[in-house]
Amino acid sequence: MRHISALIAIAILALGLTGCSDPDPISAGDADASSSPSPTSQTDGSAGEFAISGSADPEAQAQARTWLESVELPAGATHADARVARFDSFTGWPCGPVAELETFWSIPNSTMGETANWLMDNPPAELLSTAVGPLPNDASLKSAIVGFVPEEGAQEGIVFTLQKTQDGVAVRAEVAAQTDDATCPDLPDGEGYGAPGQG
């Protein structure tokens, strides 16, 4: 009888210790955004969730991964797949070759304005925003685009596309990093390329 009682006590103690263990940062934010104000970040452990395309150049792929892994999102953001929302546009990178990465998140209980302005205020990897200004917190907004580049005039970086969903906002990140031998097609005199994230 004592032996059985001891086993029960050990089992209860083990369950108690399990409940006190540190949760996964992204899961903790997903469970209760209000109790976790810190942002979620990409880590090497989530690398398998990146969709990889474009150039196989290792340096370009490493740069694209570095940019993507530096992305911060509001608390509560969780990784999703391409079915999280319908995205009707995509980013065309005019200069190349480029290594491309793509991933998605879902942010429940968030608005377009909150998410877009968070991204502008928390640029990944010290990239420069191509946005012309803050987004109004307008409930009628259905989508938005926020771009980031390593320097003015660059045709590489990250473009976030935001889509309104039933329970919040879906975010898609399109990342492109040029190879060392990347070139840009010549344009007619007086014409130039728009900044990534500006259409």
Write the pLDDT tens digit of every residue in 112-165: 999 999 999 999 998 999 999 999 989 899 999 999 999 999 999 999 999 999
36-86 confidence digits (pLDDT tens):
334 444 433 343 367 889 999 999 999 999 999 999 999 899 999 999 999
Q: If 0-12 CB within 10 Å is exposed, 13-18 middle and 19+ buried, where does residue 187 land?
A: exposed
User: Mean pLDDT over residues 16-34, rounded?
Assistant: 33
- 195 token code pair: 């900044």
Between CA 157 and CA 173 the distance in angstroms is 10
Residues whose CB is less than 8 angstroms from the CB of residue 4 and which lie 6 or more positions away in sequence, other chains included: none
91-103 confidence digits (pLDDT tens):
999 999 999 999 9
**Is the per-residue pLDDT at 17 higher than 70?**
no
pLDDT band, residue 189 (cuts 50/70/90) = confident
- Do strands 78-80 and 157-165 pair parallel, antiparallel, or not at all (unpaired)? unpaired
Measured between alpha carbons, how far apart are the two ends of the chain, in Å? 74
Question: What single-letter amino acid sits at 65?
Answer: R
Between CA 116 and CA 16 the distance in angstroms is 40
**Is the per-residue pLDDT at 20 higher than 50?**
no
Q: What residue spans define the domains of the chain?
A: 50-182+191-199
Backbone angles phi and psi of 48, in degrees to 5: -65, -15
